[in-house]
Amino acid sequence: MLVKYGTLYLALNQYTMLTIDNYLDNHYIHRSNWLRAAVLGANDGIISISSLAIGVAAASSTRQPILLATVAGLVAGALSMAAGEYVSVSSQTDTEQADIAREAQELKDMPEAELSMLAQIYEKRGLKKETALLVATELMEVDALGAHIRDELGINELTQANPIQAALASGASFTAGGVLSLLVILFCPVAQMEYYLYGFSILFLAALGSIAAKTGGSSLKKAVLRITLWGTLAMGLSALVGYLFGVKI
């Protein structure tokens, strides 16, 4: 009984220690931005480099052209992923900042209309009309712009992406995924190289799907199935191109 009550007390004690500052620590949503970039980069690294190498291997009987194409693709792909992620996230951030500036100006020009808009948002979420107006009024008295950014524009600290963080995560993960394919090319026999690449790449993709599912708290089976299915399709089409247009080098 002492053990039972002690465990119950510990659980309750942990629960009461939750605050507004730490209640999201055990959730997964705050990982979404960098996890998306990292999974995208690693997945692209494995599939792109393996597909490229499979296409070359299907048309080559020596290791050198496969290795050369793989290294070139790895360097170019990592830089492209990092630059592309930085530019895309920066564009998203610029759009958000433009909307925030516009919202700030609207609050100066027509505060009554903005108050009504905020109240309507809360009313649609289930509050009574009078309650919604009261909540909107009190929130705007504390931080009018913050309330509209969060509830009208849907922008908050969890959804805002960091361009540098996204670029580093994407570029580094692409490199890590591509290096796995490079190791296969370095150490596996050239004969039937495309089959070795396909087999190991599926294993790498399955491992990536498992890690992503574990980190993001999603379904393991769905993540592994999704990533291996698309990886198989990409590598299969690359091998087909190599066989159709390949000339033995």
Q: pTM of the full predicted structure?
A: 0.67
* CA distances from residue 169 to 40, 84, 85, 172, 175 in whole angstroms, order as listed: 9, 12, 9, 5, 10
Residue 89: burial class (beta carbons within 10 Å; 0-12, 13-18, 19+): buried
Structure tokens that stand for 25 in this block: 């620590």
Structure tokens that stand for 44 in this block: 């692209």
Q: What whole-number distance in Å separates Cα of residue 63 and Cα of residue 65?
A: 6
**pLDDT tens readout for residues 179-199:** 998 999 999 998 888 888 888
**Which segments of the chain does DSSP mark as H helices, in order?**
2-16, 32-57, 63-109, 111-124, 129-151, 163-187, 193-216, 220-245
**pLDDT tens readout for residues 73-87:** 999 999 998 898 899
113-135: average pLDDT: 92
- Does the CA dihedral 145-147-152-154 come out positive or negative? positive
